[in-house]
Amino acid sequence: MKGLRNFLADTWWVFTLALVASVLAGYFTGVWLYYVFPPMLIPVVLYMASVRYDADGNLREDQRMR
């Protein structure tokens, strides 16, 4: 959980921008598939955080250097 918190602290603006852009694109174009994109971000965020951080919130890159 610490890793997810650290990851979102670093990259929250990217996912917020993608979410807002998707909702606006769906609203203005009328294409309902754009509304499916924001829930798909949840597994992407979880995967990216698990690849970058371990369970204790430490960067995996730092562990490789030791």
Residue-by-residue pLDDT tens, the chain, 66 positions? 677 888 888 888 988 998 899 999 999 998 888 888 888 888 888 888 888 888 787 888 776 665
Q: 59: which strand partners? A: 53
At 44, is the secondary structure helix, strand, or coil?
A: helix
First to last CA, the chain: 23
Q: Are 22 and 38 in contact (CB under 8 A)?
A: yes
0.95 cut: is pTM over it?
no
Percent of the chain with pLDDT over 70: 92
Radius of gyration of the chain (CA): 15
